[in-house]
């Protein structure tokens, strides 16, 4: 019975006023009263999220952590770009401009939802300042380029080797909101595609062939490597496997799958179809078949041929 009352309360909470009437007619008024009280208490416990307040608080925090001479710009209403003093004014402007152009294209018929909450983007002008910050506040960087820290919603990056990491890392908080169930391989594959972005015109973005290709090509030379680097394997890969011993290869595979699909104008159809039908298509294989016309295993040969021809 307790279970039933709990279930009733839960449904009231989700469905709202219409169901309240139905439940009252069924004679469980006490459950209705408890539910209303619970809803009020919950509203008190979790105040509504205030984006402007959060942006202000993040600005204050960044000034405290990076220094008084930190530069700021808000892009797409949610990304607070903060240029540490180690970054010159011109470089900061260039980074803001790229953030604007890339995110404009990301939200132009590609991703549907912006992050619901603000995201801080900390940019450092050299590896020393970047490493010092990561060590002090995040226990180390893990990579010389940049990282997205999920819980504080903060991107931290060393801009000196180039801005490709910026366009990569920006994808992560977006996917987190737009397709929260996306497996790591898809999230990283799309993010990695844009680490060498090509923006031919406003609202359009593609990824050019980059340094991740040789690793994939090397794998395709051996039988064991070909088995690992096959689309059938990628589509059945858990996040744990993706982050395992062959992580570098799997980044490369998912990246070049994204580039291949994009070259055929199929990437976003596939992504959106999978996202919108995730409940009945957990692996993405159905969305792939519907868009490409072949299963991942059947498409493997064509994809490998394309990878080998890439320049």
What the block records as the tokens of 158 is 């060393």
Residues 6+ apart with CB under 8 A from 225: 218, 219, 249
Distances from the Cα of 212 to the Cαs of 144, 252, 253, 260, in angstroms? 16, 5, 9, 14
* Burial group, residue 298, by CB count within 10 angstroms (0-12, 13-18, 19+): middle
Nearest CB to Zn ion, comparing residues 123 and 191? 191
174 scored as a contact of Zn ion (CB under 5 A) = no
Judged by CB under 5 A, the number of residues near Zn ion is 2
12 scored as a contact of Zn ion (CB under 5 A) = no
- Residue 48 is given by DSSP the state P
Mark the segment that binds Zn ion (CB under 5 A) among 182-190, 232-240, 249-257, 273-281.
182-190
191 scored as a contact of Zn ion (CB under 5 A) = yes
190 scored as a contact of Zn ion (CB under 5 A) = no
HSE-CB for 246 with a 13 A CA cutoff: 23
186 scored as a contact of Zn ion (CB under 5 A) = no
Nearest CB to Zn ion, comparing residues 165 and 233? 165
Nearest CB to Zn ion, comparing residues 178 and 188? 188
147 scored as a contact of Zn ion (CB under 5 A) = no
CB of 196 to Zn ion, least distance (A): 14
CB of 165 to Zn ion, least distance (A): 9
Sign of CA dihedral 214, 216, 217, 221: positive
Name the residue whose CB lies closest to Zn ion: 191
For Zn ion, the binding residues (CB under 5 A) are 188, 191
């Amino acid at each position: 019975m307790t279970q039933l009352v709990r279930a009733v309360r839960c449904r009231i909470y989700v469905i709202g006023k219409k169901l309240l009437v139905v439940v009252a007619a069924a004679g469980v008024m006490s459950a209705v009263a408890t539910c209303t009280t619970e809803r009020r208490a919950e509203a008190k416990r979790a105040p509504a999220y205030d984006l402007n307040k959060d942006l202000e608080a993040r600005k204050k925090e960044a000034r405290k952590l990076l220094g008084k001479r930190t530069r700021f710009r808000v892009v797409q209403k949610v990304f607070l770009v903060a240029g540490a003093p180690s970054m010159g004014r011109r470089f900061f402007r260039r980074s803001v401009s790229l953030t604007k152009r890339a995110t404009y294209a990301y939200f132009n018929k590609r991703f549907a939802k912006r992050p619901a909450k603000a995201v801080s983007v900390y940019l450092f002008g050299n590896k020393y300042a970047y490493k010092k910050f990561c060590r002090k506040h995040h226990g180390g960087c893990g990579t010389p380029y940049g990282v997205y820290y999920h819980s504080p919603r903060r991107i931290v990056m060393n801009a000196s080797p180039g801005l490709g990491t910026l366009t990569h890392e920006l994808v992560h908080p977006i996917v987190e909101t737009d397709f929260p169930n996306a497996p790591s391989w898809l999230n990283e594959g799309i993010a990695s595609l844009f680490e060498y972005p090509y923006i031919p015109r406003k609202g359009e973005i593609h990824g050019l062939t980059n340094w991740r290709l040789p690793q994939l090509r090397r794998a395709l030379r051996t039988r064991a490597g070909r088995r690992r680097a096959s689309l059938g394997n990628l589509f059945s890969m858990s996040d744990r496997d993706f982050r395992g011993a062959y992580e570098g290869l799997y980044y490369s595979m998912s990246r070049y799958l994204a580039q291949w699909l994009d070259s055929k104008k199929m990437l976003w159809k596939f992504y959106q179809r999978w996202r919108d039908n995730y409940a009945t298509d957990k692996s993405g294989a159905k969305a792939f078949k519907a868009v490409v016309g072949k299963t991942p295993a059947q498409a493997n040969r064509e994809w490998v041929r394309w990878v080998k021809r890439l320049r």
